[in-house]
């Protein structure tokens, strides 16, 4: 018999049609799944009674996920994928080469893939396996397939990373209602969204990463004011520090891998104990038969790691500076992540802000709980038509002449949003226009991330600057983007849509990413080259037209000089580009030369035109005109 | 005529109501739908309806409308944990047949 949950008044579903909503915190180190049962958000457990599922997948003989996979980490490192979140939506070129990974990476047209005993896996597939495990946990705990799911992502995730996360959800057979920023989820879990106004700082110290976010809540809408952090600073660093200290104290040097692991595990245990008690100890026998007895007080430990906590405060201060806020302007500080259980962390963060941080919700669970509360609302289990809005993490723009970015949707715009802007042609008779969609805060296209590129064709032939092309950017509530371009002047419409994520195949996303990242530099050079070519061609056109009309104004020597310059430039233009930059410079140089040589000619033509206009007129008449 | 909640069910309902911050009790009812004809309904109560009958059991108020009561008389509501699942369970003496999952029934 299925077990029932209490519904809101008049919102009981039909039998077998429960609106089951789950929230998933897909973490770098651990993942969790939560749901709202009888109005209360709870984190679900697996068969072993565990809530925290290690985000680890082993592709050995069988696919193992979670703690089973974690045990294989030391024996089968090359097939055991940890922290796959770091690779989501990243290109091969983004790989941090300073870290030694145990994997066989495959560069699949610019994207990261990992060769395992079960074949080549991409980060989306690995994440999908973790999500599938969480989904199965939910099905077992709730007796039914979830109707919809909200997955959390870091506030700093860009479009490609968000799309990869959404794709992983879909690959796992989940109906992804929305991706939610992790700090926003934490704020929801604490019910801060009901306050309607406020500025909150979320300090998220996990096992391996620190994320700091400043959120502002206005009229029930969360905005991310600033993000910061350290991608390689977390609880693990505290364990390492303590483990080194233990070695020092015990007079140990050069441990083998097994013994290092033993010490590290015990260091972690002691760290956790010291959050509860004043003193902790352990004794183990190493593989060398060496007995290690170790006792440490909380004060001793805190003095040992104080500098690490100090280090975590730097990104906090930086985020405040970025948001142009004083620490007194922060209404609440929310603690997220298991490492914020450390009393010293709470104390030092509290001291910085002069207030007690919020810690009442389990810091490991707070993000998943917030996600489940939002999911519950989205599937319609709550009557209040409370709909949380989110904001764009980065600006979205379009490439304009000269490789500059024109921002269409500025960052921190609330979603959903649609913005349009009109553009025009720059050449007579231009019938096509390339729309290049980019994401980022920088002014140059080459410094931003390329998302998509498409061409609008069928623009009627007009003089440059006359056509009106309306480019519309639309982002739905999930933070996903569609772009369209429409020729407005003549009523002739031809528009194209770009859906960068939804329903896109891996290959398509791959091609998009590859194009954006690996060719960015090349694209830019080509663009500069083309711009130079267009400028040169325009100049040749106008000089030739002038020669045809007014060659009699020139001496024979001048005429041949101009003709020579034109010829030289034409030869250069006809060259197949090999080194774009070099050729671009040459074209620019010769265009300048032609400009200079013909400037006298242009002046004389101007004089002639004026003379022509004034001849035979009365001086007073002319004066009137002037 | 009586409807009862076990101690564990009552404690849960009380906790959920406190957490929710409003509501005066629990509504039990039946809906005429589902694969076996009738289905259980379990909702929080914010307002009392005219035809509601009220029962007190282990400190919580249970509301049942007159029509539903004839199908639910004698029902015991329990809160149970079965493996990783947990939730409310109806033990209804009027039930003749249940669908496989127990969510709908005939009388």
* Tokens coding A323: 């948001």
What's chain A's average pLDDT? 84
Find out whether A3 and B89 touch, Cβ atoms under 8 Å.
yes
Owner of token pair 């400190």? B59
* H-helix segments, A381-519: 506-518
H or E segment at B104? strand B104-106
Put simply, the answer to whether B82 touches A141 (Cβ < 8 Å) is: no
Which among B102, B10, B90 is positioned nearest to B55, based on CA atoms?
B10
| pLDDT average, residue stretch A80-85 | 92
* Tokens coding B94: 């009027």
DSSP-derived 3-state class of residue A508? helix
A6 CB within 8 Å of a chain B CB: yes
Nearest CA in chain A to B105: A15
Residue B103 located in a structural domain: no
Nearest to B87 among A3, A16, A39 (CB): A3
Nearest CA in chain A to B101: A1
What is the percent of chain A with per-residue pLDDT over 70, rounded to a whole number?
A: 85
Which of A2, A18, A194, A372 should we substitute to test contact with B (largest number of B Cβ atoms within 10 Å)? A2
| Packed helices A599-614 and A580-597: angle between N→C axes, nearest 10 degrees | 40
B65 CB within 8 Å of a chain A CB: no
Distance CA A219, CA A545 (A): 62
Minimal C-alpha gap between A188 and chain B (Å): 15
* Tokens coding B15: 């906790």
Distance CA A510, CA A449 (A): 14
Q: How far apart are the first and last CA of chain B?
A: 17
| pLDDT average, residue stretch A167-191 | 92
Looking at residue A37, the DSSP 8-state letter turns out to be E
Looking at residue A478, the DSSP 8-state letter turns out to be T
Whether the pLDDT of residue A511 is over 60: the answer is no
Q: Which residue has the higher pLDDT, A223 or A297?
A: A297
Nearest to A3 among B26, B43, B80 (CB): B80
Find out whether A235 and A242 touch, Cβ atoms under 8 Å.
no
A126 CB within 8 Å of a chain B CB: no
Put simply, the answer to whether B44 touches A142 (Cβ < 8 Å) is: no
Q: What is the DSSP string of A275-295?
A: TT-SEEEEEEE-TTS-EEEEE
Distance CA A47, CA A27 (A): 20
Whether the pLDDT of residue A427 is over 80: the answer is no
Distance of CA A569 to the CA centre of its chain: 44
Nearest to A12 among B43, B45, B89 (CB): B43
Give the domain extent around B64.
Answer: 4-95
Which among B91, B78, B86 is positioned nearest to B11, based on CA atoms?
B78
Q: Where in chain A is the domain with CATH 2.60.34.10?
A: 396-518
A235-306 fold: Actin; Chain A, domain 4 (3.90.640)
Q: Which residues of A touch B64 (CB under 8 A)?
A: none
Q: Is the dihedral of CA A555, A560, A566, A568 positive or negative?
A: negative
Q: Where in chain A is the domain with CATH 3.30.420.40?
A: 1-190+364-383
Q: ipTM of this model?
A: 0.76
Whether the pLDDT of residue A421 is over 80: the answer is yes
| pLDDT average, residue stretch A119-128 | 94
Range ranked top by mean pLDDT from A93-97, A197-201, A434-438: A197-201
Owner of token pair 């709470």? A346
Put simply, the answer to whether A6 touches B98 (Cβ < 8 Å) is: no
Whether the pLDDT of residue A422 is over 90: the answer is no
B87 CB within 8 Å of a chain A CB: yes
Q: Which CATH number is correct for A1-190+364-383, 3.40.50.10320, 3.30.420.40, 3.40.190.10, 3.40.1280.10?
A: 3.30.420.40
Distance CA B92, CA A62 (A): 46
Which among A190, A446, A234 is positioned nearest to A340, based on CA atoms?
A234
Put simply, the answer to whether B43 touches A10 (Cβ < 8 Å) is: yes
| pLDDT average, residue stretch A243-266 | 87
Minimal C-alpha gap between A371 and chain B (Å): 18
Put simply, the answer to whether A3 touches B20 (Cβ < 8 Å) is: no
A14 CB within 8 Å of a chain B CB: yes
Distance CA A193, CA A389 (A): 10
Nearest CA in chain B to A3: B87
What pLDDT does A207 receive?
84
Q: What is the DSSP string of A312-338?
A: HHHHHHHHHHHTT--GGG--EEEEESG
Q: Which residues of A touch B35 (CB under 8 A)?
A: 15-16
A547-596 pLDDT, tens digit per residue, is 888 888 888 888 889 999 999 999 998 888 778 888 889 999 999 999 88
Q: Is A182 a catalytic residue?
A: yes
Class of domain A523-613: mainly alpha
Put simply, the answer to whether B103 touches A4 (Cβ < 8 Å) is: yes
Confidence of residue A435 (pLDDT cuts 50, 70, 90): confident
B93 CB within 8 Å of a chain A CB: no
Put simply, the answer to whether B86 touches A10 (Cβ < 8 Å) is: no
Distance CA A208, CA A287 (A): 28
Residue B102 located in a structural domain: no
Q: How far apart are the first and last CA of chain A?
A: 96
On the CB side of A529, CA atoms within 13 Å amount to 18
DSSP-derived 3-state class of residue A298? helix
Q: How many helices (H) and strands (E) does chain A have?
A: 15, 25
B37 CB within 8 Å of a chain A CB: no
Q: Is A489 exposed, middle or buried (0-12, 13-18, 19+ CB in 10 A)?
A: middle
Range ranked top by mean pLDDT from A321-325, A343-347, B41-45: A343-347
Distance CA A22, CA A556 (A): 84
Q: Which residues of B touch A9 (CB under 8 A)?
A: 27, 43-47
Count of CB atoms situated within 10 Å of the CB of A543: 21
CATH of residue B23's domain is 2.60.300.12
Count of CB atoms situated within 10 Å of the CB of A474: 16
B19-70 pLDDT, tens digit per residue, is 888 889 999 988 765 455 677 888 899 988 888 889 999 999 999 988 888 8
Put simply, the answer to whether B102 touches A1 (Cβ < 8 Å) is: yes
Put simply, the answer to whether B103 touches A15 (Cβ < 8 Å) is: yes
Nearest CA in chain A to B32: A14
Residue B12 located in a structural domain: yes
| pLDDT average, residue stretch A123-133 | 96
Put simply, the answer to whether A15 touches B13 (Cβ < 8 Å) is: no
| pLDDT average, residue stretch A240-251 | 91
Nearest CA in chain B to A51: B84
Whether the pLDDT of residue A542 is over 50: the answer is yes
Put simply, the answer to whether A5 touches B33 (Cβ < 8 Å) is: no
DSSP-derived 3-state class of residue A474? strand
A100 CB within 8 Å of a chain B CB: no
Minimal C-alpha gap between B69 and chain A (Å): 17
Distance CA A113, CA A107 (A): 6
Q: Which residues of B touch A10 (CB under 8 A)?
A: 43
Q: Which residues of B touch A7 (CB under 8 A)?
A: 41-44
pTM reported for the whole predicted model: 0.63
Distance CA A454, CA A498 (A): 8
Residue A148 contacts by C-beta under 8 Å, 6 or more apart in sequence? A19, A21, A22, A175, A176, A177, A375, A378, A379
Find out whether A479 and A415 touch, Cβ atoms under 8 Å.
yes
SS3 content of chain A, % helix, strand, coil (to 5): 40, 25, 35
Confidence of residue A615 (pLDDT cuts 50, 70, 90): low
Which among B79, B86, B76, B85 is positioned nearest to B12, based on CA atoms?
B79
Q: Which residue has the higher pLDDT, B82 or A202?
A: A202
What pLDDT does A9 receive?
74
What pLDDT does A108 receive?
80
* Tokens coding A14: 């039909």
Put simply, the answer to whether A143 touches B101 (Cβ < 8 Å) is: yes
A2 CB within 8 Å of a chain B CB: yes
Minimal C-alpha gap between A66 and chain B (Å): 17
Range of lowest pLDDT (A45-54, A173-182, A373-382, A516-525): A516-525
Whether the pLDDT of residue A176 is over 50: the answer is yes
* Tokens coding A274: 């010291």
Put simply, the answer to whether B87 touches A11 (Cβ < 8 Å) is: no
Distance CA A6, CA B19 (A): 13
Distance CA A117, CA A262 (A): 28
Confidence of residue A498 (pLDDT cuts 50, 70, 90): low
Distance CA A425, CA A598 (A): 27
Q: Which residue has the higher pLDDT, A315 or B92?
A: A315
Find out whether A464 and A428 touch, Cβ atoms under 8 Å.
yes
Range of lowest pLDDT (A270-279, A301-310, A380-389, A564-573): A380-389
Find out whether B77 and B12 touch, Cβ atoms under 8 Å.
no
Which of A2, A5, A6, A42 should we substitute to test contact with B (largest number of B Cβ atoms within 10 Å)? A6
Distance CA A204, CA A207 (A): 10
State the catalytic residue, choosing from A76, A125, A204, A364.
Answer: A204
Distance CA A261, CA A286 (A): 10
State the catalytic residue, choosing from A182, A239, A365, A515.
Answer: A182
Question: Do the strands B60-65 and A433-439 form a parallel or antiparallel pair, or are they unpaired?
Answer: unpaired
Considering all CA atoms of chain A, what is the largest pairwise distance in Å, rounded to the nearest integer?
Answer: 116
Residue B89 located in a structural domain: yes
DSSP-derived 3-state class of residue A509? helix
Count of pairs with CB atoms under 8 A, one residue in A, one in B:
98
CATH code assigned to A396-518: 2.60.34.10
A12-21 pLDDT, tens digit per residue, is 665 555 688 9
DSSP-derived 3-state class of residue A607? helix
Nearest to A4 among B42, B44, B46 (CB): B42
B69-102 pLDDT, tens digit per residue, is 888 888 899 988 877 778 888 888 877 666 655 5
Question: What is the number of domains present in chain B?
Answer: 1
| pLDDT average, residue stretch A596-604 | 85
* Region of residue A581 (phi > 0: left; psi between -120 and 50: alpha; otherwise: beta): alpha
* Tokens coding A222: 């969360």
Q: Which residues of B touch A360 (CB under 8 A)?
A: none
Put simply, the answer to whether B101 touches A46 (Cβ < 8 Å) is: no
φ/ψ (deg, to 5) at A570: -60, -40
What pLDDT does A184 receive?
93
């Amino acid at each position: 018999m299925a077990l029932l949950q209490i519904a809101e008044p008049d919102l009981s579903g039909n039998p077998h049609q429960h609106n089951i909503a789950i929230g998933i915190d897909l973490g770098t180190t651990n993942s969790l799944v939560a749901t709202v049962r009888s109005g209360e958000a709870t984190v679900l457990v697996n068969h072993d009674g565990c809530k925290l599922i290690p985000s680890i997948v082993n592709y050995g003989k069988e696919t193992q996920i979670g703690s089973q996979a974690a045990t294989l980490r030391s024996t089968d490192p090359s097939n055991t994928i940890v922290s796959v979140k770091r690779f989501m939506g990243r290109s091969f070129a983004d790989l941090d080469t300073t870290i030694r990974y145990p994997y066989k990476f495959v560069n699949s047209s610019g994207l990261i893939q990992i060769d395992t005993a079960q074949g080549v896996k991409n980060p989306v597939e690995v994440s999908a396996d973790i999500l599938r495990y969480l989904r199965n946990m939910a099905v077992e705990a709730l007796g039914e397939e979830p109707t919809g799911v909200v997955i959390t992502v870091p506030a700093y995730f860009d479009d490609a990373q968000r799309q990869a996360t959404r794709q992983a959800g879909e690959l796992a057979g989940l109906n992804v209602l929305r991706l939610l920023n992790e700090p926003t989820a934490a704020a929801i879990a604490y019910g801060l969204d009901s306050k309607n106004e406020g500025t909150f700082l979320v300090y998220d110290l996990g096992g391996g990463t620190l994320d700091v976010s400043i959120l502002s809540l206005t009229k029930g809408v969360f905005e991310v004011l600033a993000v910061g952090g350290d991608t390689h600073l977390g609880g693990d660093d505290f364990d390492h520090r303590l483990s080194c200290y233990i070695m020092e104290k015990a007079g140990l040097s050069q441990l083998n891998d097994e013994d290092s692991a033993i010490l590290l595990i015990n260091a972690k245990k002691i760290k956790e104990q010291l959050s509860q008690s004043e003193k902790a100890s352990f004794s183990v026998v190493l593989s060398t038969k060496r007995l290690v007895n170790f006792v440490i007080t909380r004060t001793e430990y805190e003095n040992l790691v104080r500098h690490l906590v100090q280090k975590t405060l730097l990104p906090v201060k930086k985020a405040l500076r970025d948001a142009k806020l004083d620490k007194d302007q922060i209404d609440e500080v929310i603690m997220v992540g298991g490492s914020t259980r450390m009393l010293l962390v709470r104390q030092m963060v509290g001291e910085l802000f002069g207030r007690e941080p919020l810690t009442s919700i389990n810091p490991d669970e707070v993000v998943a709980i917030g996600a489940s509360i939002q999911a519950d609302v989205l599937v319609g289990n709550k009557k209040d038509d409370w709909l949380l809005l989110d904001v764009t993490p980065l600006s979205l723009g379009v490439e304009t002449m000269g490789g500059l970015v024109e921002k269409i949707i500025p960052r921190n715009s609330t979603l959903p949003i649609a913005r349009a802007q009109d553009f025009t042609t720059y050449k007579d008779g231009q019938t096509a226009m390339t729309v290049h969609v980019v994401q980022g805060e920088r002014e140059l296209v080459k410094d931003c991330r390329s998302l998509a590129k498409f061409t609008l064709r069928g623009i009627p032939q007009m003089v440059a600057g006359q056509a009106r092309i309306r480019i519309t950017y639309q982002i739905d509530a999930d933070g996903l983007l569609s772009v369209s371009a429409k020729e407005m002047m003549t009523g002739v419409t031809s528009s194209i849509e770009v859906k960068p994520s939804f329903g896109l195949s891996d290959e398509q996303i791959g091609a998009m990413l590859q194009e954006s990242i690996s060719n960015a530099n090349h694209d830019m050079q080509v663009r500069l080259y083309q711009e130079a070519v267009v400028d040169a061609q325009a100049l040749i056109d106008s000089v030739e037209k002038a020669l045809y009309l007014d060659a009699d104004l020139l001496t024979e020597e001048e005429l041949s000089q101009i003709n020579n310059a034109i010829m030289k430039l034409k030869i250069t233009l006809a060259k197949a580009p090999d080194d774009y930059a070099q050729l671009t410079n040459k074209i620019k140089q010769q265009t300048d030369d032609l400009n200079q040589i013909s400037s006298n000619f242009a002046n004389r033509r101007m004089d002639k035109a004026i003379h022509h206009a004034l001849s035979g007129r009365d001086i007073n008449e002319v004066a009137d005109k002037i | 005529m009586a409807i009862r909640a076990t101690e564990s069910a009552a404690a849960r309902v009380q906790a959920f109501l406190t957490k929710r911050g409003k509501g005066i009790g629990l509504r039990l009812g039946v809906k005429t739908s589902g694969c076996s004809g009738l289905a259980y309904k379990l909702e929080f109560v914010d307002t009392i309806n005219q035809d509601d009958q009220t029962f007190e059991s282990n400190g919580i108020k249970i509301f049942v409308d007159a029509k539903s009561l004839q199908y639910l008389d004698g029902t015991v509501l329990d809160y149970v944990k079965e493996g990783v699942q947990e939730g409310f369970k109806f033990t209804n003496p009027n039930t003749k047949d249940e669908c496989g999952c127990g969510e709908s029934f005939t009388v």
